[in-house]
Chain A
Amino acid sequence: MEKILALTSNQIMFIIFSAVIVMFSILTVTTRRILRAATYLLFVLVSTSGIYFMLQYQFLAAVQLTLYAGGIVVLIIFSILLTSHINQKFEAVSWKTIAFGTIASILGIVVCITSILQFQFKASTLAIQEINMKIIGRSLLNYGENGFVLPFEVISILLLAAMIAAIIIAKKVKDTKI
């Protein structure tokens, strides 16, 4: 009895998360107020981290919460406040654009979902790799098998380059005409 209850609670959680993701991602791209779009995006990202928690990748879920929901959304909201009025409403998109966009995305969804449902995925029965901070740190700096030291170094250089580039691009240009 208890087992059946546990299963259904898992499924209920998944249904809630996926409903929030689908609903709010549609609202993100259709709302006409830009600050609301950013808020809906925040809901989508938080429920994505809920899905990571369900799959028992706690570290990844924490990274998703802090970096996406905490970092990127705040950055986007700041740039919205810098570049547009809070109550600014977009003018309505022309029906042609909406029609073509809807047709393109629905066609894509249909094609992808039919091909997904036709393929038989065989869930692996191998033992689940235990995951904790020690294993994550060891494999990020490991250059042997199952090591990720090369992408780790590349990503660190990329982050440094992006930081310098963002500062240089956004800094105030001095008036040199005088």
Chain B
Amino acid sequence: MIAGIPLEYFLIVSTIMFFVGIYGFITRKNLITILMSIELILNSVNINFVAFNKYLYPDNLHGHFFTLFIIAVAASEAAVAIAIIINIYRHYSSIDVENVEKMKY
């Protein structure tokens, strides 16, 4: 643990980041900005995992490894999502969620 910084501070920062991501997820209409909000949410969860690992269970590394796996999942998710977005753009010439009414072509 770091002297002078209690665990709650990390949790408060990651909570604010998580709900800012939720706000973006609700209000945005562009698919790429929705993807950015999802990255924010995943990142805040990572901060939680790492802080819990360091403060509550410093004798092993479970949070550390799960953060690694979450980063890998986020990377593959972004790759597939961007492939889908580019494909949608080819068909509709737009990536707003309101214009995309059917996913099947």
Contacts and interface: CB of A to CB of B under 8 A. Distances in A.
- Say what secondary structure dominates the interface of chain B: helix
B15 A109 contact: yes
Interface string A104-116: 1110110011001
A79 B32 contact: yes
Nearest to A3: B3
A51 B59 contact: no
A117 B66 CA distance: 25
B1 A123 contact: yes
Given A48-B47, A67-B75, A127-B58, A29 B28 contact: yes
A22 B8 contact: no
Contacts of A84: 30, 32, 95
Interface residues of B, number: 73
A105 B7 contact: no
A34 B30 contact: yes
Contacts of A71: 75
Interface residues of A, number: 82
A123 B43 contact: no
A48 B46 contact: yes
B33 A55 contact: no
A41 B36 contact: yes
B40 A25 contact: yes
A166 B83 CA distance: 5
A70 B20 CA distance: 23
Q: List the 4 closest A-B pairs by CB distance, nearest first.
A: A29-B24, A162-B76, A170-B83, A105-B19
Interface of A: 7-8, 10-11, 14, 18, 21-22, 25-26, 28-29, 34, 37-38, 41, 44-45, 48, 51-52, 54-57, 60, 63-64, 67-68, 71-72, 75-76, 79-80, 82-84, 90, 93, 97-98, 100-102, 104-106, 108-109, 112-113, 116-117, 121-124, 126-129, 131, 135-136, 139-140, 146, 148, 151, 155, 158-159, 161-163, 165-167, 169-170
Interface of B: 1-13, 15-24, 26-30, 32-33, 35-37, 39-40, 43, 46-47, 50-51, 54-62, 64-69, 71-80, 82-87, 89, 95
Given A76-B35, A105-B23, 19 more contacts: A18-B9, A26-B20, A28-B24, A29-B36, A54-B2, A55-B51, A57-B50, A75-B79, A79-B85, A83-B32, A93-B28, A93-B29, A102-B23, A124-B56, A124-B58, A126-B58, A128-B59, A136-B61, A159-B76
